[in-house]
Amino acid sequence: MTGKIEQTVSLLLRHVLLVMLLIVVLVAPLVAMFTQSAFAADNRTGNDNESLEDDIVVIVSSLSTVKALARDHVEDIFLGRMQQFPNEQRAVPIDQAEGSAVRERFNMEVLGRTSVQVRTLWSRILFTGRGRPPRSVASNEDMLHAVAADVHALGYIERRFVDDSVVVVFE
């Protein structure tokens, strides 16, 4: 009888550990996402004393016919769901360098996702052969030059880097 009780307790402990592991794996990313979303919301309201010059803006070449985009269009293009601007011209998204503060902020503030979530999404898209992630550039200056040189390009930079070679289409 004692052996059967020990087996039952052992099995119960294994199940409890498995449930705890599942909770950590499933709930921890959600907690992190909500925490980062709250942080992003604080940033957008200026609670961190960030100046408007450091706001992330989405840009196209000044030669582009696109003059404004809604958030959902920016999301769809950067997340591989759409390859065209609303005017049906080809859209070529360009990312900042992976791990850069600008990219992290863009992912959270504009795409509403963590960089890990964006990377995971692109891994799935790449694996299924439905697309390739956007190419990336090293800095705000490189982004400005890349977007200015290509009427199909869509990128993002800190507002203070905007000049006449590009047009802000989403802020």
- Give SS3 for 136: strand
What b-and-e string marks burial along 78-107, b requiring 16 or more CB atoms within 10 Å of the CB? Answer: bbbebeebeeeeebbbbbbeeebebbbbbb
Annotation: CATH topology of 52-170: D-Maltodextrin-Binding Protein; domain 2 (3.40.190)
Residue 34 has a pLDDT of: 52
Q: What is the pLDDT of residues 36-50, one digit of tens each?
A: 444 444 444 444 445
Q: What is the pLDDT of residues 145-168, one digit of tens each?
A: 999 999 999 999 999 999 999 999
Residue 54: is it exposed, middle or buried by C-beta count within 10 angstroms (0-12/13-18/19+)?
middle
Tokens of 76: 């769809």
Tell me the mean pLDDT per 10 residues along the chain, length 171: 78 72 58 50 45 85 96 95 94 96 96 94 90 94 97 97 97 92
